[in-house]
Structure 1
Amino acid sequence: MERMEIKITVNGRKYTLYVSPDRTLLEILREELNLIGTKKGCDDSNCGVCTVLMDGMAVKSCTILIPQANGHSITTIEGLERENSLHPLQQSFIDHFAVQCGFCTPGMILTAKAILDENPKATEEDIREGLHGNVCRCVGYKKVVESIEAVRDGEYSESCGEV
């Protein structure tokens, strides 16, 4: 298959790539840009481990063909760190023990960011509904929801920067 030019911004850095149009955003992030924080799970948009932000919206990168990302801004888990400190959601997940094996964590955190960006006063019900499609088999969702609520409630805004 012929390669095509793709212009994409990932974690604030602009890239021009020449890739086959049948490749997914997930493949490009992991294989071409070496951003391996985005995980490959089910490969059919059911588990959420591949979640990234595209123009601020949570998307499953395993089902986004790279031409669909052309011209867009992508944020991966690696892009949340600011000035050598964790994003408030990352720190909250650690502090609230919302991490066990860690496989689902990047997708959960990016989904949580999208939830709070869209609705900074999200209720527990809003958070649980927003997490629909992100599967965790280790830690469960109680600690994940508590972590997100702590950021929502401002427990991390001063020490970790803005959400």
Structure 2
Amino acid sequence: MKTTRGQGRWMWSLIAALALTAGVGPMGAAEKLPVEATVADLAFLAGTWRGVSSTGWAAEEMISEPRGGVMLATAREFVEGRCVFFDLVVFADREGRVVLLPHPNGKRSPHDFPLVALDGAARRVEFRNAANDFPQTFVYQVDGDGGLRITLSGEGHAETYTLRRVERGE
């Protein structure tokens, strides 16, 4: 089929518009867009979790129930019984979307991480902000065996926390 110069320009404009709609950037990389959800959709994360980090350190994460558009998570890592790292994470409703607001060692990160993927059936959520150096992505996955895997990744590096649900007093 032969196209005229005007038809060819129109076709390329259509292809470019479709690529932008699909989230494909100039290099062909897909950038995930924020997902419409509420903090209540993350209720499956609530609980007290303990295990280890990929560094071998003991790790603990306590995630509150969703209430008032907010969930709070506190985390600690231990070496030989001594806390070597702590973090506060706020999951908050913002304009029809959920954002993760990290506070490593108690200091607010300058970056918000919007929710970019939510699979309630698989009990998996992903937050992303490519502008941050590390991590750029937070993934929380609750498995069928009662475990929680948290993966932080970016710039060719990943840290994973493999945790099990525990009762609060344990």
Q: Same fold, TM exceeding 0.5?
A: no
**Which one has the largest radius of gyration?**
2
Normalising by structure 1, what TM-score?
0.25
Greater relative CO, 1 or 2 (CA 8 Å, sep 6+)? 1
Answer 1 or 2: which has greater helix percent: 1
Answer 1 or 2: which has greater strand percent: 2
